[in-house]
Amino acid sequence: MSYTALARKWRPRRFTEMVGQEHVLKALSNALTDNRVHHAFLFTGTRGVGKTTVARILAKCLNCETGVTAEPCGVCSACRSIDEGRFVDLIEVDAASRTKVDDTRELLDNVQYSPAGGRYKVYLIDEVHMLSASSFNALLKTLEEPPPHVKFLLATTDPQKLPVTVLSRCLQFNLKRLPVALIAGRMAAILEAEGIAFEPAALRLVAHAADGSMRDGLSLLDQLIAFGGGAVTEAAARDMLGTVDRDRITQIATALAAGDAPGLIAAARALEEWAPDYGAVLDELAALLVRVALKQAVPDYDLADSPDAALIERFAAAVPADDVQLYYQTAIVGRRDLPLAPDPRTGFDMVLLRMLAFRFGGAEATGAPPPVRRASQGGASAAREAAREGAPRETRGDPRPAGPATGGEISAASWPQTVAELDLGGAARQLAANCAFLGRQGSLVRLALDARHASVRTKAQEERLAQALSRRLGETVRIEIEVVDGEIATPALASEQRSAAEVDAARAALAGDPAVRALQERFGATLHTDTVRPTGK
């Protein structure tokens, strides 16, 4: 008993049976329903997305014995003949094998004659871009003004090679590459109808390998059924496709998230026994990083259909978003440069080490701190030193009152330290931080309030500040506040100046760091110094 390949057996016979390409199907259905069918159509797109399938269904719609319709009956003589490939008025031409002008002229000699049995004579020319310039010239006049009983359906994977004179005479429809989920869903429906058990993960692998082509996906599915002895399992799919087991990618990602260089190299070495395609491994790692980045950017991003959902959750929580972006960039650049490495394995190892070397965040397990981390830590220290050196004397405070003020000891120099130690919060702390110490006369403490923050001064907040000062000094005091226009040396202003000085120094340190310059030169990275912010430490 002969076997029919799945791609042929399950080829759509109506527009409603097609998956994807809704933008094309809707336009054609409306044109057929309104009886506004153009004389020439051009269907473009990569292989296996349904160009000739759409053309054949359109030929059936035009010649169905029930009339021109978007829903052919499928049972009349014309419909069955088209499905079986023996309809005499559907002339299918493979332009790749008939490129000569004589072949085209021979084909067009019969255009003038009426259909033998159908309503329209339909010319389906596949890979039309393969025609020679002379053949296009021979076709052009007929394509522009064909007899009313003739329709031209052209299909190509490379529309750029068609003369603009031909393009301008056709209605053009670009069929899109099909997404992995759609291909996998179609394969699942087919296997259920065929009564074949399957693992969803296996279908995702095959759909991904199909690279947007439904026909390629079904051909690979046929191959997998034969390879697995009738079983469609993830393990069999990985063996057949030569892809790396998901656990291996998980090990690499886990070591990468932990900054564990020894573990990362050990995971890479464990791949050797599988003789993997290291480019494909980097592709899978990059795809995983994309999902991690999506989860970080959109916390409620749906991972229900992902077999790596738990890993993605852990990775997204453990690794800073900046590092994820850098890992992804390193993976795809390393994928491009892999053929330039001494051998694929060493190139793959270097890509992984480069991820750790240039990372911005934590993980001390890598051994010596990588360049950028060294720069950021040193930069922070340099920033703090620069802030101390550059800050005005009155904002640094007198080093002599190193400990907290006690008893009646209070001065302009110790005021910032006193404010820091007050048992205050909220608006009362804001009031104290935006005041400068003017002096003390017995139990009266005189303060100057920056006029820009006068709104925080209320009777209640003054009382809270007075009570906190009394507790701090060990005696009851009153406060008198004078609102002053212009900049005064308050603890809040001193803190702002220190933070600004630290940020400026950190920005300068990062901009001048050799590792950052290496990132810019190697990856075309851009340093956004305006995103450097105080850490609050």
Token couple for 183: 């291909």
Q: Are 453 and 434 in contact (CB under 8 A)?
A: yes
Among candidate residues 174, 202, 219, the one where a domain is terminated: 174
Asked whether residue 142 falls in the same domain as residue 236, the answer is no
Going by the DSSP 8-state scheme, the letter that residue 17 receives in this structure is: G
Q: Is the pLDDT of residue 459 over 70?
A: yes
pLDDT at 375 over 80: no
Same domain, 382 and 507: yes
For 7-23, the pLDDT digits (tens) are 999 999 999 999 889 99
Q: Amino acid letter at 350? A: M
Q: What is the DSSP letter of 44?
A: E
In a domain, 398, yes or no: no
Residue entry with tokens 């430490």: 537
Distance, first Cα to last Cα, the chain = 78
Model pTM above 0.85: no
| Token code pair at residue 178 | 């099909």
What the block records as the tokens of 38 is 């153009």
Domain ranges, residue 349: 246-366
Q: Is residue 252 located within the same domain as residue 233?
A: no
CA distance 121 to 86: 13
- Asked whether residue 368 carries a pLDDT value surpassing 50, the answer given is no
Closest by CA to 150, choosing from 109, 103, 95, is 109
| Residue percentage of the chain with pLDDT more than 90 | 37
Q: Tens digit of pLDDT for each residue in 115-128?
A: 888 899 999 999 99
Report the distance separating Cα 139 and Cα 131, nearest Å.
Answer: 10
Number of CB atoms found within 10 A of residue 76's CB: 15
Residue 536 forms part of a structural domain: no
CB 393 within 8 A of CB 419: no
Q: Rounded to whole angstroms, how far apart are CA atoms 171 and 37?
A: 10
Greatest Cα pair distance, the chain, in angstroms, is 118
Beta bridge partners of 450: 484
Last residue of a domain, one of 366, 395, 427: 366
Based on the domain organization, do 213 and 190 belong to the same domain? yes
Q: Is 393 within a domain?
A: no
From CA 504, how far away is CA 495, in angstroms rounded? 14
Is 195 within the bounds of a domain?
A: yes
- Which are the contacts of 39, defined by CB distance < 8 A and separation ≥ 6? 146, 150, 151, 152
Q: Same domain for 313 and 290?
A: yes
Question: Is 224 in the same domain as 310?
Answer: no
pLDDT class for 374, splitting at 50, 70, 90? Answer: very low
**Whether residue 219 sits in one domain with residue 112:** no
> Are 446 and 379 in contact, with CB atoms under 8 Å apart?
no
Same-domain status, 118 and 40: yes
Domain boundary among 241, 259, 289: 241
Give yes or no: residues 321 and 448 share one domain.
no
- Residue 470, domain member (yes or no): yes
Task: Give the closest residue to 45 by CA, choosing from 189, 155, 198.
Answer: 155
Q: Which of 270-274, 360-364, 431-435 has the lowest mean pLDDT?
A: 360-364
C-alpha to C-alpha distance for 261 and 265, rounded to whole angstroms: 6
What is the distance between the alpha carbons of residues 429 and 222, in angstroms, rounded to a whole number? 73
Q: Write down the pLDDT at residue 53.
A: 94
Burial class (CB in 10 A: 0-12, 13-18, 19+), 407: exposed
Interval 316-337: pLDDT, tens: 888 888 889 999 999 999 999 9
pLDDT in tens, 263-298: 888 888 888 877 788 888 898 899 889 989 998 888
Domain count of the fold of the chain: 5
d(CA 274, CA 242): 9
pLDDT confidence of 111, banded at 50, 70, 90?
confident
Half-sphere exposure (Cβ direction) of 200: Cα atoms closer than 13 Å: 8
Q: Does a structural domain hold residue 404?
A: no
Contact 162, 129 (CB under 8 A): yes
Q: Are strands 444-450 and 435-441 parallel, antiparallel or unpaired?
A: antiparallel
Domain shared by 299 and 235, yes or no: no
Return the beta strands (E) in 50-190 as ranges: 90-94, 121-126, 150-156, 171-174
CATH number at residue 185: 1.10.8.60
Number of Cβ atoms within 10 Å of the Cβ of 501 = 20
394 is a domain residue: no
**What 3-state class would DSSP assign to 119?**
coil
Cα 282 from Cα 352, distance rounded (Å) = 10
Report d(CA 358, CA 150) in Å as an integer: 64
CB atoms within 10 A of CB 498: 19
Q: How confident is the model at residue 389 (pLDDT cuts 50, 70, 90)?
A: very low
- Please tell me which residue, 304 or 431, carries the higher pLDDT value: 431
User: pLDDT tens digits for 19-51?
Assistant: 889 999 999 999 999 989 999 999 999 999 999
- Interior angle at CA 293, CA 288 and CA 298, nearest 5: 125
Domain for residue 400, yes or no?
Answer: no
Residue 69: the pLDDT is: 92
Which CATH number do you get for residue 344? Answer: 1.20.272.10
Q: Are residues 375 and 513 in contact, defined by beta-carbon separation less than 8 angstroms?
A: yes
Sequence-ordered list of residues with C-beta below 8 angstroms from that of 141, at least 6 positions apart, any chain: none
Q: In the 8-state DSSP scheme, what is residue 128? A: G
Q: Quick one: 161 and 195 in the same domain? A: no
Under DSSP, the state recorded for 245 is P
Same-domain status, 305 and 324 = yes
Helix H, strand E, coil C: the string for 340-401 is HCCCHHHHHHHHHHHHHHCCCCCCHHHCCCCHHHHHHHHHHHHHHHHHHHHCCHHHHCCCCC
Q: Which residue has the tokens 């390193």?
A: 330
